[in-house]
Amino acid sequence: MKIRNNAIRNRIWVQIAVTLIFAYVAYVTYLLVKQPTDTFTVDNGTLYLEETVQGYIIRKESVIKGENYKNGMEQIAAEGEKVAKNESVFRYYSNNEKNLKEKIAELDTKIQEALEKDNTSIYSSDLKILEGQIDEKIKNLSGLTDESTIADYKKQISDLVTKKAKMAGELSPSGSYIKQLIEERGKYESQLNSGSEYVKAPISGIVSYRVDGLEETLGNVEFSSLSKDYLENLNLKSGKMVAVSNESGKVIDNFSCYIVTILNSEKAKEAKVGDKIKVTLSGDKELNAEIAYIKQEENDNRLVVIETSELTEELVNYRKITFDLIWWSYSGLKVPNQAIKEKDGLNYVVRSRVGYSNKILVKVLRKNEKFSIVTSYSTSELKELGYTPEEISSLKKITLYDEILLNPNIDNID
């Protein structure tokens, strides 16, 4: 009987021990799961107040077009290149350009053959320098992919070959023949150039060949004449690239570009002309900008004109874009709003360190829906709040990597 009672007691103790172990494991698991959501590590961060909107691009631009636009055109200044006033932007081909170019190409071949025959008997340090430059240009040409750069290199090579031919003509025993070829080539080249129509820039700025007929409609326009209906009636698709023209080009004033958008947010209703903002385009390209004009529209909408001096490809290639409007951004110590508790008009967080909790006074600099950027008050600010020197010296400050409690109860913490 005694043995049986001992067995029962042992079984009970085992059950109690197992129960305690399970309880302990459950408690530890609870702590492990609960801890990350109960505390937050203070870190540096940046808060934004932004909204994604659509906008219409307004640029001051001058379309340039000549008489011979049906002949086809050759770009002199590349897309996006800056030009000065009265600088040639492009040219229209002459009427018999194809024939003239074929004759010039034939003469280039003859000149090169003549140079190769006389190459052993000609020596000049200047000539050798030219040959080195030609070889280097040809070598670099093989690694290029940009069409405008390739065309520029080919022109440079052609100019160097012509210069070499003229120099060799002076040095070669058979120079009279090379001179004759060069003179003949010069006549054809002169005919080619005289028959071409060169179109020049009416203003200084950035060259573009993306012409869509809206240069006047969305260029030289008064902001007061713009409205939501006016913009929507243009039937423009956001993100659609303007097509390249083969008949005309334009020069864009690169000092200012405008984005017109219709807004209805609370922040937009508080905005004022002159406010500094930022605009983020696709590819995370961030531009500094400023509000240049505001107009009240129907249904509590506001027409807002944003000005930027940073003219990017996106602002040149499109008429309507989707972008992020950043009203403000602020960097500093970032904490969740749920970690901040207000009492008597002041804000506090609770720091947990080595098992102890301390209430820390913080100054909220900026906040959005989820987070705040905070800092500690300065000594002068604390004095203005009524703190004595003794109290100020005893106050703890929030620092980087502090562990703070979420949803703290500050009433029972000093």
pLDDT digits (tens, 9 = 90+) for 211-238: 999 998 888 789 999 999 999 999 999 9
Q: Give the end of a domain, one of 195, 227, 258.
A: 195
User: According to the model, what pLDDT value does residue 226 have?
Assistant: 94
Residue 324 has pLDDT above 90, yes or no: yes
Task: In whole angstroms, give the CA distance from residue 6 to residue 78.
Answer: 100
Residues 317 and 252 in one domain: yes
What does the pLDDT look like over 236-246, one tens digit per residue?
999 999 999 99
Residues 259 and 307 in one domain: yes
Q: Say which amino acid occupies 100.
A: L
Q: Domain residues for 407?
A: 340-412
User: According to the model, what pLDDT value does residue 4 have?
Assistant: 53
- H or E element: which one contains 14? helix 2-38
| Range from 111-115, 208-212, 243-247, 297-301 carrying the lowest mean pLDDT | 111-115
What does the pLDDT look like over 59-80, one tens digit per residue?
999 999 998 888 888 889 999 9
Q: Say which amino acid occupies 406.
A: L
Instruction: Express as a percent the part of the chain with pLDDT over 90.
Output: 48
Task: In whole angstroms, give the CA distance from residue 316 to residue 242.
Answer: 9
Q: Is the pTM above the cut of 0.75?
A: no
In a domain, 220, yes or no: yes
Residue 126 has pLDDT above 50, yes or no: yes
Residues 304 and 214 in one domain: yes
Q: Give the end of a domain, one of 169, 195, 221.
A: 195
User: According to the model, what pLDDT value does residue 6 have?
Assistant: 59
User: According to the model, what pLDDT value does residue 70 have?
Assistant: 86
Q: How confident is the model over 354-363, as a mean pLDDT?
A: 89
Burial 65-80 (b: 16+ CB within 10 A, else e): bbebeebebebbbebb
In a domain, 239, yes or no: yes
In a domain, 82, yes or no: no
Residue written as tokens 């799961």? 33
Confidence of residue 13 (pLDDT cuts 50, 70, 90): low
Residues 141 and 221 in one domain: no
Q: How confident is the model over 126-130, as a mean pLDDT?
A: 72
Confidence of residue 161 (pLDDT cuts 50, 70, 90): confident
What does the pLDDT look like over 390-410, one tens digit per residue?
999 999 999 999 999 999 988
Residues 243 and 290 in one domain: yes
Confidence of residue 88 (pLDDT cuts 50, 70, 90): very high
User: According to the model, what pLDDT value does residue 175 have?
Assistant: 55
User: According to the model, what pLDDT value does residue 110 have?
Assistant: 80
Mean pLDDT estimate for the chain: 83
Confidence of residue 158 (pLDDT cuts 50, 70, 90): confident
Task: In whole angstroms, give the CA distance from residue 376 to residue 332.
Answer: 11
Residues 166 and 236 in one domain: no
Task: In whole angstroms, give the CA distance from residue 86 to residue 89.
Answer: 9
Residue 3 has pLDDT above 70, yes or no: no
Residues 350 and 368 in one domain: yes
In a domain, 74, yes or no: no
C-alpha pair distances (Å), 216 with each of 62, 65, 134, 213, 294: 9, 15, 46, 7, 22
User: According to the model, what pLDDT value does residue 28 have?
Assistant: 45
In a domain, 323, yes or no: yes
Q: Give the end of a domain, one of 264, 294, 329.
A: 329
Residues 325 and 216 in one domain: yes
Residues 269 and 217 in one domain: yes
Confidence of residue 89 (pLDDT cuts 50, 70, 90): very high
In a domain, 101, yes or no: yes
User: According to the model, what pLDDT value does residue 34 have?
Assistant: 45
In a domain, 287, yes or no: yes
3-state secondary structure of 53: strand
> Does 152 or 244 have the greater pLDDT score?
244
Separation of CA 290 from chain center: 16
Residue 32 has pLDDT above 60, yes or no: no
Q: How confident is the model over 312-328, as a mean pLDDT?
A: 92
Residues 216 and 274 in one domain: yes
Q: What share of the chain is helix, strand, coil (3-state, %, to 5)?
A: 40, 30, 25
Residues 215 and 185 in one domain: no
In a domain, 359, yes or no: yes
Task: In whole angstroms, give the CA distance from residue 407 to residue 337.
Answer: 9
Total count of domains within the chain = 4
- Residue 229, Cβ neighbours under 10 Å: how many? 9
Residues 303 and 402 in one domain: no
